[in-house]
Amino acid sequence: MNKRVVITGVGLVSPVGIGVRETWDALCAGTSGVGEITRFDVSNYQTRIAAEVKDFHAEDFLPQKEAKRTERFIAYAVAATRMAIEDSGLVIDSSNADRVGVITGCGLGGLSILEDTCLKLTSRGPKRVSPFFIPMMIGNMAPGMISIHFGAKGPNASLATACAAGAHAIGDSCKLILNGQADAMITGGVESVVNPTCIAGFNSMKALSTRNDEPEKASRPFDRDRDGFVVGEGSGIMIIEALDHALERGAKIYAELTGYGMSGDGYHMTAPPPDGSA
């Protein structure tokens, strides 16, 4: 347990840019990724804004035929992983494949394909349901497809702990390295649920901002005038490694991971305890 874990690569698909540099430059310029929803007609919704990823082309990261049938959240995860691996310089081959694992966090997975399939099943019958429906819907297909595309054959899992899923994925990945079960892990979070049931569901909970006329000012989590959160999408992936493994291959090191916490407040399904405990 005397190992140390470091971050050696990062990749991002975000509402303000495809790539780490693009995202960072946009953030430094004060660019907001929040705007009117374009994926579906929102005229009857209380909330008509979200942080959509723009100008993403799955075929830039996947074979063209595969890109057409891959659910958006999976494509985001594969794209961010490709960037992170290139950034880290990590080579995955037969000599180390079983020592490189993948854990990602994803709350809802392929909600869009679930919606579309339910409509198709109702209107056209069971024979019209795509054979890709199940594989493209389940959240663990993000780490699964990462494993397939990059040859990582070590520990592989997906966590679905809502907003904490990405953080839990990184923490669990760190523990696997500390325990000697992997030398490197591909880890982070992914989500893409800017669709009717998600927006309608959170609206029913009174959880979303309705600042539709000022979308760039809607996400304000620590402001006294906060009126709810904004649904966003994208993927953030990092490569983490045992320090000795990273040094041995001469990798650049961004930071060291020294620990993380996870707890439940035992209070309410959606609201935090007002006294800030837990």
Overall average pLDDT of the 50-76 stretch: 95
> Over the stretch 206-217, which tens digit does the pLDDT of each residue have?
999 999 999 999
Q: Kindly tell me if the per-residue pLDDT of 278 is higher than 90.
A: no
pLDDT surpasses 90 at 98 = yes
Report pLDDT for 246: 97
Q: What pLDDT, on the 0 to 100 scale, is given for residue 1?
A: 54
**Number of other residues whose CB lies within 10 A of the CB of residue 220:** 15
pLDDT at 234: 98
**Predicted pLDDT at 2:** 75
The predicted-structure confidence for 102-142, as pLDDT tens digits, reads as follows: 999 999 999 999 999 999 999 999 999 999 999 999 999 99
Report whether pLDDT(270) > 90.
no
% the chain with pLDDT above 90: 90
At 106 the pLDDT is 97
Rounded to an integer, the average pLDDT of 49-55 is 97
* pLDDT at residue 92 greater than cutoff 70: yes
Q: What is the pLDDT of residue 170?
A: 98
pLDDT at 277: 83
Please provide the average confidence, as pLDDT, over all residues in the chain. 95
Closest CA to 191 of 159, 222, 213: 159
Q: Tens of pLDDT along 148-195?
A: 999 999 999 999 999 999 999 999 999 999 999 999 999 999 999 999
Residue 75, pLDDT > 90, answer yes
> Going from the N-terminus, what domains does the chain have, and what CATH number goes with each?
5-257 (3.40.47.10)
Q: Say how many C-beta atoms besides its own lie within 10 A of residue 19's C-beta.
A: 16
- pLDDT the model gives residue 265: 87
Mean pLDDT on 90-108: 97
